[in-house]
Amino acid sequence: MPELQLGELLLDIALLLGLTYLLAGVLTKIRVPGILAALLVAMALHYTPFGARLISPEFSIPLGFLSQLGVLFLLFFIGLQIDTQEMLKSSTDIIWLTVLNTMVPFLLGLLVMLGLGYGWLLAVVIGMTRMPTAEAVIVPILDDFGLIRSRVGTFIIGAGVLDDIIEVFLVAFISIWIGDNSNLEGNNSAALFIGSATFILLAWVSYRWLIAHLAHWLPRRASNLMLLSMVALFGFGGLSQYTELGMIVGAITAGVLMRPTFNEMGDIGTQVISTIRSISYGFLGLMFFFWVGLNADLQQIMQAPTLAILLYLAGTIGKLVGVFMMVPLGKINVREAWVIGVGLDARMTTEIIVAKMLFDAKLIDQYLFTALVSAASFTALSVPLLFTLLVRQWGTSLNAQQSAPTTTGETHETN
């Protein structure tokens, strides 16, 4: 890239980040995740000459690469949050809550897509996007109101932890599906099988021995652990992309594999996780949301908003219905059901990543892509506001409730 164009690109990114910083300050005051500001800024600039310049060929390549790095880091961070040992400690009540609050929205999303004439496979995939919960949207509010260790907090965080398995499966399935659609020759099936076997074998060796050994190769410092993390991220990301599993699978796998080492490193591991989160949500993740916003066409939604509204309602109503099924079972009361149902309705990062993957692979059109982004964005805006109102109204009674019998581990900040 010529020096003049590089200077223009850096100034453009500075402007995007500056506008995002200002808008994020407004959003955080009403308890809306600041990262959503990047998406809203890019959407607002979509129809301007500035936005058209950013998606022009000379700028789209570097911005697209930065957005891909953003996806890698966001999903690597999600992988780091997955602790299989903590998941095994989840109580039966939390497991039932997870099943109910994911299956009902999935079925409603599936019915919406089939009712609108979409095929079964795409309907299943879009239905699955109604299932995940972005607990990062809700956990800070729980913390602000001192509800982390309450029954409500335990149920929300516990279901969010188990929900991470669904996110991993969803993204992995989409990644493999996209790879399969890009190469349909018979020989590629054997290549995919060999590549997958190689990937799984290397992941197992790394988990059982290699990463733990390499972690002690250099002194126990945050910079050295960060370097090892980047080796795992780009190594498994590149290998999974090369073997046609998709780099997204590699990113999440790298996070899961590195988690035991982070735990073993104690405070150093916590420090590096904080650094990775800052990079993900403070820069590279923003570049991904910029790219999504610049590619979203809100004019199509304004002309035909039915799909976006139905997708939003499928997720929201599905979550509430699923949670309220716990009331007749005597597991929670009505007030808790409202608060938990609204809290688990938060969806953002995973849903948008899946939408972008499908759009880039030309498996969905711009209308469906924009509808998915719009539904996720509205959820990320509305849930914190409604959740805050409910907690302010019933906070005393919610705080009085004791935590569920079995806890689910640490606070997570994913999606």
Per-residue pLDDT of the chain (415 residues; tens, 9 = 90+): 667 778 888 998 999 999 999 998 888 887 776 777 888 888 888 888 888 788 777 787 888 888 888 888 887 887 787 665 655 555 788 888 888 888 999 999 999 999 988 888 889 888 888 887 766 567 656 666 767 667 787 788 777 767 766 766 776 677 667 665 554 444 455 666 777 788 888 989 998 899 988 998 989 999 999 999 999 999 998 888 777 666 777 887 888 889 889 988 989 999 999 999 889 888 988 888 888 778 776 676 677 688 889 999 999 999 999 999 988 888 888 888 898 898 888 776 677 778 888 888 888 888 888 888 888 878 867 777 788 788 877 766 665 554 444 433 343 444 4
21, two tokens: 């910083």
CA distances from 270 to 215, 263, 342, 410 (A): 15, 8, 30, 12
Structural tokens at position 209? 């021995």
Residue owning tokens 């594999």: 257
Domain range summary for the chain, segments of one domain joined by +: 85-284+299-400
Inter-residue long-range contacts of 398-403, CB under 8 Å, 24+ positions, other chains counted: 398/147, 398/150, 398/151, 398/152, 398/335, 398/336, 398/339, 399/145, 399/146, 399/147, 399/150, 401/150, 401/151, 401/152, 401/336, 402/150, 402/151, 403/149, 403/150, 403/151, 403/153, 403/154
Nearest to 158, CA basis, from 96, 65, 244: 96
Tell whether domain 85-284+299-400 is in CATH 1.10.357.10: no
CA atoms of 387 and 406, how far apart (whole Å): 24
In angstroms, the CA 329 to CA 184 distance is 48
Cα(28)–Cα(24) distance, rounded to whole angstroms?
6
